[in-house]
Chain A
Amino acid sequence: MSNNESRMDQDAASRWELLPEFDPDPALWSRIQSRRAHQQVRRRQRQRWVASGLAVAALLCVVAVSRFQIEQPKPDQVAVWQGYSQALEQEWLAMARATPDPRVRAELRLIDLELQTAYDRGAAESELIPLWKLRNEALRELIDNDVSRMRAVTRL
């Protein structure tokens, strides 16, 4: 750096040091505080809106999930009907007068055959459940010895 350049740098340096300094408006801090308060109010309002939105969304989710669960068939419904059928069968077999009408035995065999066929082809619950219900009705009729209702079963 030449002497001339060095002197110019020094001159420039002293020049910037001579720049005047000014004070900001004394009311600036109160304006900032006011703006800050306004921002905080808006932020709280926004947070409240977001919280309300989330609460509503959560509520909707709960309602949707509960409705979904109600509308879904119980996965063990076939098993329930099957278990009930087995219980009826045990009851019927335990009865002393277990000499049923041969026609009734034939109907039970027919229903069992239908059930077996349905299971073999992988039938849906919607098809299996009515068959189990039918079987249960037949067993109930046997237990109650209500031959008139058995005729309905024979229409299968």
Chain B
Amino acid sequence: MGADGLPTRVNAGFGQPLDALVLQRAKRGDSAAMEAIFRLYSRPCYNLALRILGESAAAEDVVQDVFLRMMDTIKGFRGDAPFGAWLKRMTANATIDVVRRNRRFDSDDAEARISNIESGQVSAESGVDAWSLLMQLSPRARAVVLLHEMEGYTHKELSELFGQSESYSKSVLARALKRIGTLAGDDEE
């Protein structure tokens, strides 16, 4: 459990350790080492972006940007945090940047989507599927849910990421989880 009483989980993909020798070689600009890092982390990076953006092409663009940036900045990686955590933060930042830049993703209609769920416009059958449930939320709401629930982000970190107050992410998260739970029939007795 996290400090706020919510469960904290670590994504095994980003949690994979990076071999120190590979890191040293990558810092020297060794392309084989860069490729090894890509093989290790591209999947979690892609899945995080895909789950938030909901589009394969957009998620691949994020992965591309993240790894290009990683190759430019890896020399400055000091190892204060695990490499995977560093890359996860880069991925989250890049993905949120896409959400904020692109109106297609940033139509912050979480409220409307949640209302749709409330009004029963989403079928119970599709609600059983976690992916389908997630896709009923806006990209912003998906980001809040995933980063908090799966990646262990705190509301303070989320507020910094979105440039909003902590109460914003708390509100989005609480409503999204409640409605998803309702739709999935979690509280049916």
Contact = CB atoms under 8 A, between A and B. Distances in A.
A24 B186 contact: no
The secondary structure that dominates the A interface is helix
Interface in A1-49: 1, 4, 7-13, 15-25, 28-29, 31-33, 35-36, 39
Interface in B54-86: 56, 59-60, 63-64, 67-68, 71
Interface string B71-111: 10000000000000000000000000000000000000000
The secondary structure that dominates the B interface is helix
Interface size band for B: 35 or more
A9 B47 contact: no
Contacts of A4: 187
Given A9-B7, A23-B43, A28-B42, A16 B146 contact: yes
Nearest to A18: B130
A19 B68 contact: no
A19 B64 contact: no
A29 B181 contact: no
Contacts of A36: 68, 71
B145 to A, nearest CB: 8
A24 B42 CA distance: 7
B63 A28 contact: yes
Contact of B131 (A1, A13, A20): A20
B60 A24 contact: yes
Interface of B: 5-7, 9, 31, 35, 38-39, 42-43, 46-47, 50-51, 56, 59-60, 63-64, 67-68, 71, 130-131, 133-134, 146, 149-150, 177, 180-181, 184, 186-187
Interface of A: 1, 4, 7-13, 15-25, 28-29, 31-33, 35-36, 39
